[in-house]
Amino acid sequence: MSRTEAPIPSHARPQAHHQAHPHDLIQAAGELAGLPELPRRGRGLSLRTLIVLRWLAVIGQTSAILTAYFALHFPLPLWECLTVIGAGVAMNLATMARARRIDGSLPDGPRTAAQLGFDILQLATLLALTGGLANPFCLLLVAPVTIAAAALPARQAVILGVMALIAVGFLFSWSLPLPWRQHEHLELPGLYRLGLGLALVTGVLFTAGYAWKVAADADKLELALATTQDVLQREQRLAALGGLAAAAAHELGTPLATIQVVAKEMLRDAPAGSPAAEDAALILQQAERCRDILKQLSAQPEEGDALFADIGLKALLEEVAEPHRGFDLDFDIALKIPSGQDAPRLRRLPEIVHGLSTLVENAADFATARVQLTAVVDAGWIEIDIVDDGPGFASEILPRLGEPYVTSRPQAKARRALAAQIASATRPARRERRAPPPPVTAPIAPSQGGMGLGFFIARTLLERSGAKVSVGAGDAAKGQPGGARVSVRWPRQVLEVTASAMEGDGT
């Protein structure tokens, strides 16, 4: 079984972790990408861009025709050529008038396809009047198809590509002679013209295919980066919410203390057992309850709140491992620190928590029985190794690991266990003893991940925090599956919170 990256962590997390669950975001990204057009946007070009490109083509065509006729004295059908060029001018003027009525700066796929189709017909007609495939400018037929492949959906790009190939076949079958010097006639052999046609067809197909692939990769990367940014923004909003809660608890402490002082004075002045005394006692009781709630909101990280700016190194490892415990896996957490030193406190960045959680879930899903998290601290670096005893990274996936949409992910172990628990709870009780049900092997609860964005997002977030992420084989014994290792390494000064900084925050 091969392994790749994890999706966004999907297991239930304790409330103290306040982890975002961007599965819906990933699914929405997948639906947006689509299946047959994955992940092309196909928005086309704006009318303004098409107008500028056609004016450049008209200027170039006019210059070439006039130079050949008046400067080189080539006998060519001048007025017929100028008429074809004039058709391009008329189309551009009509497009400009339409762009004034609508927002010409917005992309428009169908209009882009229609405009490029006209350009192919206009250029093919002009080439037919000036030598066909013998005209060296026949190479320009590649341009509209390349633009279509880069900017349009596959269906429209294929239609325009077929139009260009039909134009090549027509130019091979019929065209006027190539204009040449007076009293000279240039006739290319048929086999050479066939070679020119095949070369042009090959150029159209190769260039269009290359442009389509580059545009598709760019769209996938843009979608993945947008998803990463959305995940990070959600994490940052949650972290900011924790800071606001702590600030609110601090601000509410003063008026609450005033309420308690006034209530005590009311209780002292009121006769014992009177309604006023009971009301004052109730106010004191509820004020004390409010004070306890505010203490919980403003508690220090070691008291359970995980949304403060710094966190202990071991507490960080426990936090990212805790959601995955209880699924027949052993989690070993170890710290390797120079003797005589305390474990450093780290900046608790949402990027780090989310990225490590994703990597740990990946290890938990592929592990057989054990996942090991080891933090190594030295004078200049802090490194966290995540090692599992699973099958390891597939050789065909390893060179591309970290790219978006690269995955061969199986169903998550945690979701299989959850599906088995649900099936067991809903199975009707029977009086007689029966053989235990077979293990759940069929995909019962499909994973919400598996799009190949998990490792990409984790790596992007971690590298954004200053880390360097590397992957390799694990520490399995001889004859056992190799396992996998993911190492995340930060410069210590980037990640560690110094004592002076903590004192400054405390003041």
Q: What would the pLDDT profile of 492-505 be if each residue is shown by its tens digit? A: 888 888 765 555 55
DSSP result, 169-191: HHHHH--PPPP--TT------HH
> Please, which pLDDT band fits residue 125 given cuts at 50, 70 and 90?
very high
Q: What is the pLDDT of residue 60?
A: 95
Residue 67 has pLDDT above 90, yes or no: yes
Q: Which band of pLDDT confidence, cut at 50, 70 and 90, is reported for residue 25?
A: very low
The residue that leads in pLDDT, 307 or 310, is: 310
- Summarize pLDDT for 249-305 with one digit per residue, the tens: 767 888 888 888 888 888 888 888 888 888 888 898 888 888 877 776 665 444 444
Dist. CA 338–CA 346, nearest whole Å: 17
Range name among 95-104, 192-201, 430-439, 450-459 with the lowest pLDDT average: 430-439
Q: Is the pLDDT of residue 446 over 90?
A: no
Q: Going by DSSP bridges, is the β-strand pair 330-336/370-377 parallel, antiparallel, or unpaired? A: parallel
- C-alpha separations of 406 from 340, 360, 393, 450, 488 in Å: 44, 18, 12, 9, 20
pLDDT higher than threshold 70 for residue 324: yes
Work out the pLDDT band at 406, boundaries 50, 70, 90. low
231-243 average pLDDT score: 64
Model pLDDT, residue 434: 46
pLDDT for 348 equals: 84
Q: Which of 5-14, 133-142, 306-315, 471-480 has the lowest mean pLDDT?
A: 5-14
Q: Are 373 and 334 in contact (CB under 8 A)?
A: yes
R_g over Cα of the chain:
35
pTM summary value = 0.49
Q: Beta partners for 383?
A: 376, 489
pLDDT of 140: 93
State the average pLDDT over residues 340-344: 84
Reply yes or no on whether the pLDDT at 55 is more than 90: yes
Residue 478 has pLDDT above 80, yes or no: no
Please work out, in degrees rounded to the nearest 5, the angle formed at the alpha carbon of residue 100 by the alpha carbons of 95 and 105: 80
Among the ranges given (18-22, 133-137, 405-409), the one the predictor scored with the smallest mean pLDDT: 18-22
What pLDDT score does 141 carry? 93
Q: Return the top range by mean pLDDT from 192-196, 257-261, 388-392, 487-491.
A: 487-491
Confidence band for 158, pLDDT divided at 50, 70 and 90: very high
Higher-confidence residue of 128 and 507: namely 128
Average pLDDT score, the chain: 76
pLDDT at 57: 94
Is residue 231 within 8 Å of 296, Cβ to Cβ? no
Instruction: In whole angstroms, give the CA distance from residue 202 to residue 215.
Output: 20
Highest-confidence segment of 167-171, 245-249, 275-279, 357-361: 167-171
Looking at residue 296, what is its pLDDT? 67
Measured between its terminal Cα atoms, the distance across the chain in Å is 54
Phi-psi sector, 450: left (phi>0), alpha (psi -120 to 50), beta: left
Cα 492 from Cα 453, distance rounded (Å): 28
User: For residue 311, what is the enclosing H or E element?
Assistant: strand 310-312
Residue 106 pLDDT greater than 60, yes or no = yes
Q: What is the percentage of the chain residues whose pLDDT exceeds 90? A: 28
Please state the rounded mean pLDDT for residues 189-217. Answer: 89
